[in-house]
Amino acid sequence: MRLVGLIGDPVEHSLSPEMHNVAMEELGVDGVYVKKQVEREELGDVLKGARLFGFSGLNVTIPYKESVLGFCDELGKEAELARAVNTLDFCSDGVFGYNTDVFGARQSVLEEMKISGSKMTLVGAGGGARACCVAFKEAKQIDVVNRTKQNACELVNDLERDVRADLNALGLEKLEDSLVDSDLLVNATSVGLESPQKSVVDKTFLHKDLVVFDLVYRPPLTKLLRDAEEVGCEVISGVEMLVKQGAKSFKIWLDREPNEDLMRRCVLDELNGGDSW
């Protein structure tokens, strides 16, 4: 039996087991995806135990995406640039670390627009924002906008040597100005998850030529995305990034192509209370 799973703190909200297990079942893979909440002091023992127990790999979520870097024998290019790992592949010759969040963000956007030569406005300065900067590194310009400008400055300073885009750090008061000629808006904060009726962006700042991507996937259509649709924008739900990063991890572990449509329907079914099939 193939064993894979998710570690983090918390993990109870995760829909990864549902979408991975349904994908394995369709392909006839004898396997199971489990999740485990892990305290920081037990992280090392859990990783060693998973290898000894025969796990093929693990997904890693907050707050351990940076912490597991030291457990990897080799890193994928995206993990090196993002300085974060969300997928561990346990191989006979070592532990390989990947960042499929970068892949998920990139592919989600490429289905709607061209990245090269575009201007992007990225709200947030945490791990999601870092992954997006790497994913969109060939853009013409990325404005990193954050309530605490110093955090945006630190992110820009950390990545500017590795990202071809012109990176700018801005305070939240500059958000409206940044969006005037922007092609893509990304919400990489938790606003919309904690308060479903709140948006990180005033609706009046949006324009119809903008593509709006919200990394939040609970609910699938956040207030930001609802506002954007009303203005006439193309929108991308965080469900897309969730599914695409998961499908990439699945292929790394099992060397099989999962059915992304099936995984997406499974996630939406869970989020919508059984109304998506």
Among 7, 189, 190, 187, which Cα is nearest to 86's? 7
Give catalytic status of residue 65 as yes or no.
yes
Using only C-alpha atoms, what is the Rg of the chain? 18
Angle, helix 260-271 to helix 238-254, in steps of 10 degrees: 130
**Residue 257 exposed, middle or buried by CB count within 10 Å (0-12, 13-18, 19+):** exposed
What stretches of the chain adopt beta strand conformation (E)? 2-8, 31-37, 55-60, 74-75, 87-91, 94-98, 119-123, 141-146, 166-171, 184-187, 211-214, 234-236
For residue 41, give both structure tokens. 């002091």
Q: Which strands, in side-by-side order, build the sheet including 184-187?
A: 166-171, 141-146, 119-123, 184-187, 211-214, 234-236
Angle at 67 between CA 80 and CA 20, to 5 degrees: 80
Phi, psi for 262 (deg, rounded to 5): -65, -45
Catalytic residue among 35, 36, 48, 65: 65
- Separation of alpha carbons 149 and 202, rounded Å: 19
Length of the chain: 277
Catalytic residue numbers, as ranges:
65
